[in-house]
Amino acid sequence: MLVFAASDKGGTGRSVTSANLAYHRALAGDDVCYLDFDFGSPTAAAVFDVPDARQAAEERGLHAYLIGEVAEPARIDVWSETEHRVLRTRPPGSGRLVLMPGDVSGGEFATTDDNLRRCVDLLLRLNSEFDLIIVDLSAGRSYAVDMVLEATSQRELSGVGARWLVFHRWTRQHVSAAASLVFGKRGIVAGGVARGHDEEALRGVIRFVRAAVPDPESALWSQVSPTQSAWMRECDRDLKQLASTQGIGYSLVLGSVPLEPVLQWREQLITDEDVLDSQIAGRETWEALSDLAGRLTDDKFWEQP
């Protein structure tokens, strides 16, 4: 299955959350491949802590592959090549975890017939090899978004399951921007329909992920004043109303990730050691990521609302 990770703005937690979802699915036994299609600012190598990917991406990254400079893009086996102390010991029963990095010196480019064909071929081959392929896309209505909308409209990919996750932070600006990215005049739905996608079917495979969501009831905010606490609850209610009004209310939300210092300051994979041993990360975050990872392929969470 293909999972496309999109966001209207940068700084939504799209890349770090998507990488953590890939990690959780690999822990569960799936063979997972993570494609860094954020051509303007590829960062997945840092999240997976694989510094050697930088050199590989300079020569054989996805950008170089798609524009025809190399015959095959680089593959990084995260379990064996990461410098993360915990990840270097591959857990028993886990599946493969492979990163295909983006080019550090790459950039956005318009879709041509040649690079479209390379994109389709790559997705087809990976779908036959991996259980789950997560494609991290550049922010906004980017060339990367246009390319995968075009690619998934091709006959060869018609039988391959594809789903979209649209990430946004829990603020007024991000809620409105996420709704516009999907449902706006030049949004994902309109762009997909223009390329031959069925509108109802496309809408049915798009869900939203709320990232960095502060919970007014959590211990993190227990020391705020009563006035601040009341204000936070009011803001949360207003945001829920706004999301509903914008058409991205609860029924279209696949899950939420709490405001988590580790994700904000380090943008790393959160391991069980971070939760249980060093206790630098919250159990609520680990559970939210685990739930989200499971819902990626759980059909009951993708039924039409």
Q: What integer pLDDT is reported at residue 215 of this predicted model?
A: 79
pLDDT for res 61? 85
CA 215 to CA 210: how far, in whole Å?
A: 12
**CB–CB of 48/269 below 8 Å?**
yes
Q: What is the 3-state secondary structure (H, E, C) of 236-258?
A: HHHHHHHHHHCCCCHHHEEEEEE
In the predicted structure, residue 98 carries a pLDDT above the cut 90:
yes
Query: What is the reported pLDDT for 35?
Result: 97
Name the more confident of 222 and 227.
Answer: 227
pLDDT at 10 over 90: no
- Whole-angstrom distance, CA of residue 245 vs CA of residue 236: 14
The per-residue pLDDT for 154 is 96
Mind listing the pLDDT tens digit for each residue in 249-274? 999 999 999 988 888 888 899 999 99
Whether the predicted pLDDT of 108 surpasses 70: no
| Tokens encoding 251 | 């029924």
Average pLDDT value for residue range 96-107: 83
Phi/psi for 5 (5° steps) reads -105, 120
Cα separation of 88 and 59, whole Å?
25
Q: What is the pLDDT at residue 55?
A: 65
Tell me: pLDDT of 210 over 90: yes
Helix axes 172-183, 226-245, angle to 10 degrees: 10
Query: Which tokens sit at 99?
Result: 């990163």
Give the CA diameter of the chain.
61
